[in-house]
């Protein structure tokens, strides 16, 4: 498997994990965007696995949801 393919799979997995954590806490994309100081479109792209993010952004998302690294990173 190519490294590009692996990265795409990792981004998709992170996005699915983020969405799972967000919905299990009954948090909307809009609310998470506010909590993490991000644009709602950015949340949508992350959940779709369409954008790579910085670790600082992941940390803001983690804090915004109050979840563990393990639940986001899978």
Q: Where are the domains of the chain?
A: 3-66
> Rounded to whole angstroms, how far apart are CA atoms 31 and 18?
13
> Cβ distance 14 to 61 under 8 Å?
no
pLDDT of residue 2: 74
Domain 3-66, CATH among 1.10.10.10, 1.10.260.40, 3.40.50.2000, 3.30.1240.10: 1.10.260.40
For residue 61, count CB atoms less than 10 angstroms from its CB and return exposed for 0-12, middle for 13-18, buried for 19 or more: buried
**What is the widest separation between alpha-carbon atoms in the chain?**
37
Look up residue 63 and give its two tokens: 């804090």
Given this model, what pLDDT does residue 1 score? Answer: 56
Instruction: Please give the pLDDT value at position 74.
Output: 83
For helices 40-47 and 29-36, what crossing angle results, to 10°? 110
pTM score of the predicted model: 0.93
Residues of the chain with pLDDT under 50: none
């Amino acid at each position: 498997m190519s490294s590009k393919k692996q990265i795409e799979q990792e981004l998709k997995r992170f996005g699915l994990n983020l969405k799972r954590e967000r919905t299990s806490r009954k948090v909307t994309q809009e609310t998470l965007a506010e909590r993490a100081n991000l644009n709602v479109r950015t949340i949508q792209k992350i959940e779709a696995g369409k954008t790579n993010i910085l670790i600082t952004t992941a940390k803001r998302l983690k804090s915004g949801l109050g979840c563990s690294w393990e639940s986001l990173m899978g």
